[in-house]
């Protein structure tokens, strides 16, 4: 019966694997109000048997939350789509079961992002347990994947990709690029060892070198900009729950100027609903910032050029455009639905 409906009228059965975590609970929040999704299964090992509303206070007032009960992942029923929100390394060993019961798998964890076997083994060693290919998919770039298995980008990698892709695709900048990415605490998931008092009022380095989103950015830029810069990728921890701000520092090539730069960003993002280029920032308020994106599925990007120096700033909500919102956007595109279905454009502030 459902097969005969147009995509806009059809409802797809969906499951969230790892649904007590930050990305999983954000997906529940989006999917409960998504007109084309029927949320039929949410997994948790530790909270199996409990109602969603009793585990997650921020979801307890949704009328449907009381009826939704956590179950162990092994009880996954047959569904159209399973969203993977498990910690890295947990899905690959369960893919046999998940692939049998889900028509399509959209994985938010990093397991199948890196194609290079050496890099994958170094950063996601458990990924070798599953050998069928996953497509790496960023909704704004590249073709719609045709296979059943899709891996979404990392939150910091996506922010960096949005900042740099237009400059590199248009060949406007030199090879030497520095990116620093500042991220809120939910980026590390619900179970972290850092005491909140130590994060509170602090701003500190997370990783000056060697973050696993570095090779992901290089791979994504190679695929979608046709260029891999000599990239210095460093990460920092912000004292805030949600949000990422990335700053990319580069130098213009001979002959390139601010007009070409603005045109490149406008061309790259003019047709996309959720990556918004801010063409002429004049005051600090005009630049991307946490309070213009947190709570929304929007990534903002702006650029400042002085002489040959280029400073690009990009910001997004790591749990929405960096995770659950990105996954719903991909779900919409993959199922022929309007790309914006069920996704917020406005931020939550102050
Ligand atoms: N946080 C972000 O900003 C962000 C952004 C993009 C991508 N991601 C990726 O998304 C994934 C989830 O991140 P998160 O921040 O939501 O993590 P999280 O808050 O730690 O949540 C992890 C979830 O996985 C479940 N889980 C943990 N260990 C499990 C196991 N051994 N078997 C089955 N279920 C298990 C937990 O359920 P129970 O403990 O209740 O059983 C919980 O629901 C990670 O791979 C992360 O890298 C995160």
Beta bridge partners, 278, equal: 302
Closest CA to 103 of 215, 28, 15, 224: 15
In terms of Cβ atoms closer than 10 Å to its own Cβ (0-12, 13-18, 19+), residue 339 is middle
Cα separation, 153 vs 164, in Å, equals: 15
Number of domains observed in the structure of the chain: 2
Name the catalytic one among 52, 109, 155, 268.
155
Answer yes or no: do 123 and 179 share one domain.
no
- Mean pLDDT by 10-residue block, N- to C-terminus, for the chain (350 residues)? 58 98 98 97 98 95 91 98 98 98 98 96 96 97 96 98 98 97 94 85 94 95 95 96 98 97 98 96 96 98 97 98 98 98 96
Closest CA to 109 of 21, 210, 207: 21
Largest CA distance in the chain: 64
Give residue 4's pLDDT.
52
Residue 261 CA to ligand 1 centre (angstroms) = 38
Q: How far is CA 161 from CA 8, 186, 277, in A?
A: 30, 20, 13
Q: Determine whether the shortest distance from the Cβ of 323 to ligand 1 is under 6 A.
A: yes
Closest CA to 163 of 181, 151, 176: 181
Answer yes or no: do 94 and 183 share one domain.
no
Residue 85 CA to ligand 1 centre (angstroms) = 5
210, 223 contact by CB (below 8 A): no
- Domain annotation covers residue 327: no
69, 49 contact by CB (below 8 A): yes
Give residue 6's pLDDT.
67
Query: Which residues form the domain of 247?
Result: 155-318
- Domain annotation covers residue 145: no
Supply the CATH number for residue 50's domain. Answer: 3.40.50.720
Answer yes or no: do 291 and 242 share one domain.
yes
Give residue 5's pLDDT.
53
Give residue 108's pLDDT.
98
Answer yes or no: do 121 and 160 share one domain.
no
Answer yes or no: do 160 and 127 share one domain.
no
Distance, first Cα to last Cα, the chain: 46
Question: Global pTM?
Answer: 0.97
Give residue 335's pLDDT.
97
Give residue 67's pLDDT.
85
Answer yes or no: do 282 and 168 share one domain.
yes
Q: DSSP secondary-structure letter at 21?
A: S
Give residue 212's pLDDT.
92
129: three-class secondary structure by DSSP: helix
Q: Determine whether the shortest distance from the Cβ of 20 to ligand 1 is under 6 A.
A: yes
Give residue 3's pLDDT.
46
């Amino acid at each position: 019966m459902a097969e005969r409906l147009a995509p806009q009228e059809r409802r797809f059965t969906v499951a969230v694997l790892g649904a007590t975590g930050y990305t999983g609970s954000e997906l529940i929040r989006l999917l409960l109000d998504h007109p084309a999704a029927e949320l039929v299964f949410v997994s948790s090992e530790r909270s199996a048997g409990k109602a969603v509303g009793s585990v997650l206070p921020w979801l307890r007032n949704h009328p449907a939350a009381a009826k939704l009960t956590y179950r162990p992942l092994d009880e996954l029923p047959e569904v159209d789509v399973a969203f993977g929100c498990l910690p890295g390394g947990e899905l690959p060993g369960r893919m046999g079961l998940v692939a049998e019961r889900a028509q399509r798998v959209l994985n938010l964890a990093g397991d199948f992002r890196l194609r290079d076997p050496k890099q994958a083994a170094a950063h996601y060693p458990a990924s070798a347990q599953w050998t069928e290919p996953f497509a790496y998919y960023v909704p704004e770039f590249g073709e719609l994947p045709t296979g059943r298995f899709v891996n979404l980008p990392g939150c910091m990698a996506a922010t960096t990709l949005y900042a740099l892709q237009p400059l590199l695709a248009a060949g406007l900048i030199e090879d030497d690029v520095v990116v620093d990415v500042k991220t809120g605490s939910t980026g590390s998931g619900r179970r972290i060892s850092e005491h909140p008092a130590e994060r509170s009022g602090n701003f500190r380095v997370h990783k000056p070198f060697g973050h696993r989103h570095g090779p992901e950015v290089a791979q994504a830029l190679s695929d979608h900009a046709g260029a891999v810069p000599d990239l210095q990728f460093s990460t920092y921890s912000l004292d805030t729950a949600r949000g990422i701000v990335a700053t990319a520092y580069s130098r213009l090539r001979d002959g390139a100027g601010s007009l070409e730069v603005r045109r490149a960003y406008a061309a790259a993002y003019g047709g996309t609903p959720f990556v918004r280029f801010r063409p002429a920032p004049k005051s600090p308020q005009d630049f991307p910032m946490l309070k213009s994106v947190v709570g929304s599925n929007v990534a903002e990007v702006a650029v400042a050029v002085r002489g040959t120096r280029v400073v690009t700033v990009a910001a997004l909500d790591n749990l929405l455009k960096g995770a659950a919102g990105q996954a719903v956007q991909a779900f919409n595109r993959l199922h022929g639905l309007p790309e914006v279905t069920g996704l917020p454009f406005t931020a939550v502030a102050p």
